[in-house]
Structure 1
C-alpha cells in the first residue's frame, strides 16, 4: 500500500488558489484568505492508487482537494470493498479523523491528486475567530451527509439500472460544477470494479448494467476509464432531479 505523507511544498498560495475562480464555489474574503494562508502548511501530491488517509488512523491534518479524483471506502476483513463516495476539487477530507481522533474509512487517489494540507491543531482558532469559515465546515459536513443519504437510497431501493444511471449523473454534475466537464462530456478515471464496489453489485451484473446504459448512448468505456456522453439519459433513467445549482463553500 502506497501511503501519502504531508509536504511543506507550496505551488499554489491561497491568494492565487485556482479554486477561487470556480463559479460554483464561494470565494473567500481577504481576511479569510490571510487566515487560510497561515492555516495551510503545504501541499500533498498523490499518485493514482495512493492511500491518502487510512481507516483507523489519527490524522494530524485535513485536506482540501485542489485537483484530481479520489474515493472514500471501507474494507471488510475478507477484502470486500464498499465505495462510499467520490472526491473532487473543492472537497474537504480528513475532518472526521481530526475531530473524532480516528478515521472510520480510507481514502484513495483515483487519479493524480494535489491537496492543500491544513494543520489540525489550528481548527480551534478557525472556529473562534472566523465564524463564517466555521459555518462553511458545518455546511460541507452536512452536504456530505446529504450525498450519503442519496447513495444509501440508491443502493437500497433503486434498481441496478437506476442506481448505475444515478451514479454517473451524480458524478457528471459534481464534475461540471467545478469545471471538469468539457464539451458536455466527462472522462472518468473509473474501472468497472469501482462501479461494482459503489453499487453493491457483482462485476458480472455491473458489466451487463453498464452495457444497457452504453446502448442508450449515455456512456462509452475506454481503455482506462469511462466517458459520460448524455446527462439527460442518465437523469431520465435514474429519475433523479439533480444537484442544486447554488454555490457551495470550500476551505
Structure 2
C-alpha cells in the first residue's frame, strides 16, 4: 500500500504558529518571517495508516513531509526482497528531502504506526534556499545530523557485538522518542517488532530473539505485544558504550 502524490489533504488541524511540536524544548525558535513563510508553504496534512509506504525508492515525489505525529522507518530493498532499515523517523523529522534535491528517492519510507504528516511541495525548496538563508542552513543542519546518525549506526553494525548494537539501537530510538514527547516524554515503549531490529542491525531473526532475551534477563528492557519497553535507559547506554544524544536544539521545518 503506497501513497499517491495526489492524496495530500488540503484540510489542516494545525497552522504552523500553533504546531504542537514547537513548544518542545528540543526545537529552536523561528523568526516571525520564517514561520510565516513555512506556514505559506504548508499545503495541508496527510493521515497515514500503519504499514503504508509514504515514499518509494526510485520514484519521484511532488511532496516533502514533516512528521507531526507517529513513527516511520527508512529502508532499502535488495532484488531478492531482503530489507535494510537505515533509520527511524519521529515527530519533527523531515522526510523526502533526498528526493527533493536529487530528483528521485534512493530509499523508501514506511509508516511504523498511524501518522500525521505536514505536506510541502518539493518545488518550494528553491524559494527557501533563494530567499531564506536561515532556513537553508536548517536544511543543511538536518542533512548533516542524518549523516552523523548514520555514522553511529555504521559503527554499531561494524564494531559492536550483537548485544551492544541492540542496546544502542533501543537506547538511541528511545532517546529520540523522549526528546519529541512520544510516550508522554517517558522512556517507555517503542512500537517496532523484532524483525525491524533484525533488519536494522543485519542479524537473523533467531539471533535477534536470543539477544533480546539477554537484554530482558539483565532487566534492561521488557517485550510486550505493542513493542519494546525500556526499563533501564542508562543501563542500555552503558552496555552500548554510547554517550547519548547531544543537547543542541534542532530545527523544525
Q: With structure 1 as the length reference, what TM-score do the two structures score?
A: 0.97
**Which range moved further: 21-30 or 142-151?**
21-30
Q: Following the alignment from structure 2 to structure 1, what is the Cα–Cα distance between the partners of residues 94 and 22? A: 15
User: Does the 8 A contact of 2:12 with 2:45 survive in 1?
Assistant: yes
Output the CA distance in 2 between the equivalents of 1:221 and 1:3: 31
Among residues 140, 143, 146, which one is paired with 2:142 in the alignment? 140
Distance 1:77 1:162 in 2: 30
Q: What CA distance in whole angstroms lies between the structure 1 residues aligned with 2:81 and 2:40? A: 40
1:71–1:110 contact (8 Å) kept in structure 2: yes
Distance in 2 separating the partners of 1:176 and 1:77: 36
The CA deviation at 1:216 is 1.1
How far does the alpha carbon of each residue in 1:163-216 deviate from its partner, in whole angstroms, 9 at most, with x for none?
Answer: 000001101111111122447432111110000000100000000001011111
Residues 224-248 of structure 1: CA deviation (Å, up to 9, x unaligned): 2111111011011100111101111
Cα deviation code 1:44-81 (max 9, x no counterpart): 11010010000011111111110100000001111110
Separation in structure 2 between the aligned mates of residue 3 and residue 184 of structure 1, nearest angstrom: 31
Question: How many Å separate the matches in 2 of 1:88 and 1:184?
Answer: 15
The residue correspondences of 1:116-195 to structure 2 (distance < 5 A) are: 116-182=118-184, 184-195=186-197
Q: Secondary structure at the match of 2:85?
A: strand
Matching of residue 227 in structure 1 with residue 220 in structure 2: no
Matching of residue 43 in structure 1 with residue 52 in structure 2: no
Q: 1:100 and 2:102 equivalent?
A: yes
Per the alignment, residue 3 of structure 2 pairs with 3
* Conserved 8 A contact 1:55-1:102: yes
Q: How far apart, CA to CA, are the structure 1 residues paired with 2:83 and 2:217? A: 28
1:112 corresponds to which of 99, 111, 114: 114
Q: Count the aligned residue pairs.
A: 251
- Kindly indicate whether the alpha-carbon contact (under 8 Å) linking 2:192 and 2:228 is maintained by their aligned counterparts in 1: yes
Partner Cα separation in structure 2 for residue 226 and residue 135 of structure 1: 35
What runs of 5+ residues in structure 1 fail to find an aligned partner? none
RMSD of aligned Cα (Å): 1.2
> Which deviates further from its counterpart, 15-24 or 176-185?
176-185
Aligned to 1:15: 17
Distance in 2 (CA, whole Å) between partners of 1:32 and 1:214 is 46
3-state SS, counterpart of residue 18 of structure 1: coil
In 2, Cα distance between equivalents of 1:239 and 1:45: 38
Contact 2:56 2:108 (C-alpha < 8 Å) held by counterparts = yes
Unmatched segments (≥5 aa) in structure 2: none
Q: Distance in 2 between matches of 1:61 and 1:180?
A: 25
Secondary structure class of the residue paired with 1:107: strand
